Structures are given as C-alpha cells and as structure tokens.
Amino acid sequence: MSAANWMTLLILLIVVFAASLGWLVRRIASPQTSLPVTAGWIDALSIERYRPMMRLLDSEDLDFLRSQPGFTPHMATALRIQRCWIFRGYLRCLSNDFARVCVALKIVLLQSRDDRPDLAMALVRQQALFAAGMAAVQMRLFLYRWGLCGADVTGLVKIFDGMRLELQTLVPATMGMEA
C-alpha cells in the first residue's frame, strides 16, 4: 500500500472516529429516554442481557466457516455484516440502559438530603469513560466490518455494571422511587 493510500485511510479513520465521538457525547449528554424508575426495573437490570454480545464478533465462527467446503470470501463478508448489525442492536440497548441508570442516579443525587460530590464526580467520570469506550468500540466495529479487527465490549459492560450496582445500593436506602 502506498503512502498516499495509508494517509487516506488514516484520515478516513480519524473522521469516522471524530464523528462517532461527537454523536456519542451528544447522545449521552442529553439522553432522550423514558425512565421507568421503579425498584423492579432496577432489580431487573442485568449484565446477563449482554453476555451474547461478548462473543458475537469472535473469530471462531469465521474460522469454522472458512474451514468448510464451498467457502467463499463473500460468505465471510455477509456474516460480518450480519454480526455488525446484531452487535449495533446490543450497543443501542447497552447505551440506553446506561443512560437510564445515569438519569436515575441523577434523580437520587437531586433528592438526597446529603450532598454527594463523590457520587456526582464518579457519575461524570463514568459517563466520559463510557462515551470514550463507545466511540472506540464503534471504530473497531467499523474496522471489523471490513475484516480488519474485532471489537471488545468488556470495558463498557463493566462500566455499566458498576453504575448499575451503585444505583441498586442507593435506591433502597434513599427512597422507593415509584414512578
């Protein structure tokens, strides 16, 4: 590949990354999501919902497909496209759940009798980490689509799980939070 082609690819990746980051920051900064703030909703939140996502982009399935008679590169491309579409659905759900947890935590902060600057700072920090992680995953998903790499969402799921656990510990102690 010539230097001009590498430069064009690099510029394209930077533009896609910047656009993704801008979109994610805007989406997280102003979530437009309904908030079913009940104790049952909080208890129903689980990272189990995202377990299939963890192996959706594994290379094992593509390796198996390649080993089969009659394999064509088009088959691998079609599988990657399909997996990207499914993976993006999981990412939307994860992003929506994370936004709901953050809104619920903000409600807890607003209704708390005591100031919680530690929780407010942790919330801002986790939202920034989630946005950056989401941008990185989106970029890697774009590259996966073309067969260049995989995408790992373990970090995003851990951030979501930490915020979910924080919410679960605060809600029973602060209020019933019935909608």
pLDDT tens for 7-29 read 787 787 787 777 777 776 666 65
pLDDT tens for 47-83 read 888 888 888 888 888 888 888 888 888 888 888 889 8
Among residues 152, 154, 104, 160, the alpha carbon closest in space to that of 127 is found at 160
Per the prediction, the chain carries an average pLDDT of: 82
120 HSE (CA, 13 A, CB side): 9
For the chain, the structural domain boundaries read 3-174
**What are the distances in angstroms from CA 36 to CA 103, 106, 179?**
11, 14, 7
Query: Cα dihedral sign for 36, 42, 43, 48?
Result: positive
Q: Token pair of 142, please?
A: 């774009």
